[in-house]
Structure 1
């Protein structure tokens, strides 16, 4: 029987199997590895896939006290499905007191508000994530308490819900269509996703890097991935003049997940042209779409327990919320720069032994948050408002 080698592109560990499978979870770093192109060893090159993962080493996740220390943040959050049960059925209690302490800025509220929040834990699968429910809870609290989104205008998709609110591919796509349906000038729309992201070869010549970015619904192994092209068609192209959509994506390879035409270079402080080489139209009908992504298209997003005494949360999601709470009325540049700075500080605070292990394993546990938009605008002066 042929033996197949599966190579983890993150920690460089080789796995051996005799089964033909579509996805494999690395036993060392828990990365999700797509294996569609795997062949028998010595015949073809193995596809190197990576995915969002816990930032702790595997042995520290399962063996009591952590060997890798972090600086604790001030943001408190909930963890685990037991703390999340009330989020769908009733108005939840605040998951961190600092959020409710923020002054109510009623004047910043837009005419109409609607949000789709998706958190995928893959809890019955080998590549499960531990921080997505915490992310969902905290983002919903941010929308309700800081930006005054009514509870009934927020649709939450998690595996804790009824079947029609589980983040399957069908439910996510239906939710995306619901998000923009009947939008009118003055509306503020929000799409949030916390889960796995992958990328695959682009066959339409509409990606500068040659790869399509994708989101992984809970049933992606059987129903397939949600491509950036489809996300753009469902929630970007329908936006009419006066409507603003914000997407916040905490997943791997998510830098241009909405296929927006402009990507902001934080270092050079300018907008880059991200329009498709093929000439395909990725624009709106006059509205504005803005996306904050956890990392570049070639990077991984990370979970961590750096900010809480127990439980995991997405690094990007936590830093995003903390930046907003720390400085009211911040600009888009200030928000992006603050998230990037806090992420770098979080990784820099890791203990020496962990850094040495990462070096030996050729691992670079860092990520560059990205800002993209359907149109270039003044990020230095434009205030971030939902």
Structure 2
């Protein structure tokens, strides 16, 4: 940002030197940066059964009641059934039209049981789908494994008495033991959902891992806070470049030594532990520090992210829309109307520029 302040004949020279220093330090921080995309793996072929779980919770009669989550389940299910043969499916909602207190009421116990049902006996070639629309929450993390300092949560209909389901438990039940060759596609349309499955790899709209991008942003923020405006004055040019070089190197090494209080070793260990054998891909409604909108669009109550997902897939029907294309188009659909930013993550380093399918 501060580069826009540069004026005169030194601007290009400074910009070139800044770019070179930035790349050099980024390579020191993450020597794998240049090969991140090249080392991603292809998705396994889907040639087995398709199994789907849909969960929609409006929290009828409770504080924080929602209106569009049950509609999301109905709409997503109908849309997918028009395109795919779902051999097995389960639906959990608190729709007043269904009988209360059944195995299909989205209580904490029933949601976890449904998670187990979804992944039970999964084999190579199977495709599993999970769609959740409801409240997402945050609770203080106690084991130091969360960058944000919080665990993200699924909020069951009986959360007041039974408690929430933290991301560690979601990961352990759905992801941990899922075998290689199985594909699990998850959609979480809820608040604070970016890491609700505790998946280690987050992607940007170009299909690259966001680890490098996050490191760069942290360094730039530190530099701006440190005041690189000295570049404005010609007589300070050499000093400014020297100071910039020291600042960016210092910021990078600080980020390398301690990311939000955790060492590189701790981060690497957590990522390794949560890397999955299966092809697990999640679209989430927003970043961990954001909320997802329960909206009214074209006269119908709906989750904004679920609506964007369906409309994007309908708009590009028949096209080989990739996972990252889908992410980009969903973000465009919501941009300007909602503050939330949908995210894409995976259980291992996958090439998500491949065509989307379930």
TM-based fold match above 0.5:
yes
Match of 1:371 in 2: 344
The answer as to 2:290 corresponding to 1:295 is no
Per-residue CA shift, 1:79-103, capped at 9, x if unaligned?
A: xxxxxxxxxxxxxxxxxxxxxxxxx
Per-residue CA shift, 1:227-257, capped at 9, x if unaligned?
A: 1000000011121111000110000000011
Unmatched 5+ residue regions in structure 1?
A: 1-107, 348-364
Question: How large is the Cα RMSD of the aligned pairs?
Answer: 1.9
CA contact (8 A) 1:110 1:186 kept: yes
Q: Alpha-carbon deviation of 1:143?
A: 2.2
Q: Alpha-carbon deviation of 1:338?
A: 0.4
Match of 1:94 in 2: none
Structure 1 residues 225 and 278: alpha-carbon distance in aligned structure 2, compared to 1, 3 A threshold: farther
Query: Paired residue for 1:188, among 115, 127, 132?
Result: 127
Match of 1:118 in 2: 55
Match of 1:17 in 2: none
Match of 1:176 in 2: 115
Instruction: Give the 4+ runs in structure 1 shifted more than 6 A.
Output: none
State the distance in 2 between where 1:147 and 1:321 align.
14
**Greater relative contact order (Cα < 8 A, sep 6+):** 2
State the distance in 2 between where 1:265 and 1:332 align.
11
Match of 1:277 in 2: 267
Deviates further, 169-178 or 369-378: 369-378
Match of 1:341 in 2: 332
State the distance in 2 between where 1:180 and 1:269 align.
27
The answer as to 2:149 corresponding to 1:210 is yes
State the distance in 2 between where 1:288 and 1:332 align.
13
State the distance in 2 between where 1:183 and 1:377 align.
20
Per-residue CA shift, 1:244-299, capped at 9, x if unaligned?
A: 00110000000011111100123x75213499638241122x21110000000000
Match of 1:241 in 2: 180
Q: Determine helix, strand or coil for the equivalent of 2:209.
A: strand
Q: Determine helix, strand or coil for the equivalent of 1:291.
A: strand
Per-residue CA shift, 1:141-192, capped at 9, x if unaligned?
A: 1221112213xx1100011334110000000000001100100010000111
State the distance in 1 between where 2:46 and 2:302 align.
28
CA contact (8 A) 1:204 1:278 kept: no
TM-score by length of 2: 0.68
Which one has the bigger helix percentage? 2
Q: Alpha-carbon deviation of 1:318?
A: 0.6
Match of 1:384 in 2: 356
Structure 1 residues 319 and 124: alpha-carbon distance in aligned structure 2, compared to 1, 3 A threshold: same
Q: Determine helix, strand or coil for the equivalent of 1:164.
A: coil
Match of 1:262 in 2: 201
Match of 2:70 in 1: 133
Q: Write the mapping of 1:81-100 to structure 2, written as runs, cut at 5 A.
A: none
Match of 1:314 in 2: 303
Number of residue-to-residue matches in the alignment: 254
CA contact (8 A) 2:137 2:192 kept: yes
Q: Determine helix, strand or coil for the equivalent of 2:170.
A: helix
The structure with the larger Rg is 2
State the distance in 2 between where 1:291 and 1:371 align.
6
Match of 1:8 in 2: none
TM-score by length of 1: 0.63
State the distance in 1 between where 2:350 and 2:182 align.
15
Query: Paired residue for 1:145, among 43, 68, 82?
Result: 82
State the distance in 1 between where 2:207 and 2:344 align.
11
Unmatched 5+ residue regions in structure 2?
A: 1-44, 215-263
CA contact (8 A) 2:128 2:185 kept: yes
Per-residue CA shift, 1:95-149, capped at 9, x if unaligned?
A: xxxxxxxxxxxxx974211111100010021211000111010111122111221
Q: Determine helix, strand or coil for the equivalent of 1:199.
A: strand
Per-residue CA shift, 1:39-98, capped at 9, x if unaligned?
A: xxxxxxxxxxxxxxxxxxxxxxxxxxxxxxxxxxxxxxxxxxxxxxxxxxxxxxxxxxxx
